[in-house]
Amino acid sequence: MQLIAAHCGDAPGGNCHDVDFNIGKGAEYFSQVLAPNNGNALAALGNYNGWRLGMTVADATRAASEGNCRAQNNLDYLYQTVNGWMQGKEGYNIGQYCELATY
């Protein structure tokens, strides 16, 4: 999982990399975003990347057009995750937008 230090206070010895703690925190977070998405796992997974239902390409690319490309949503996030990472493939090399190559 990808935890920031602020979420590691109760980790054994403050170690964010403790496997059991890390997976538990990830599962806890996922359950928190799964409920408001009515059990829709893809919508919840999209929330992890900053997506929300009804979000448009213009919404997702606004940060880049305002000069903050680092805050840009990955337009291929769900595609890469489901059709790449979850299948043991290199997710960065798949998707329509290929990490915003068209922007």
In this predicted structure, what is the pLDDT of residue 39? 93
Closest to 63 in 3D by CA, of 71, 55, 75: 71
Are residues 97 and 91 in contact, defined by beta-carbon separation less than 8 angstroms?
A: no
Return the domain boundaries, the chain.
1-39, 49-103
- Residues constituting the chain: 103
| pLDDT score of 96 | 67
pLDDT at 97: 62
Residue 18 Cα distances to 12, 22, 23, 32, angstroms: 7, 6, 9, 21
Q: Which has the minimum average pLDDT: 13-22, 34-43, 85-94?
A: 85-94
In this predicted structure, the answer to whether residue 98 has a pLDDT above a threshold of 70 is no
The CA-based angle 39-42-48, given to 5 degrees, is: 100
Does the pTM surpass 0.75? The reply is no
Check residue 91 and report its DSSP letter.
G
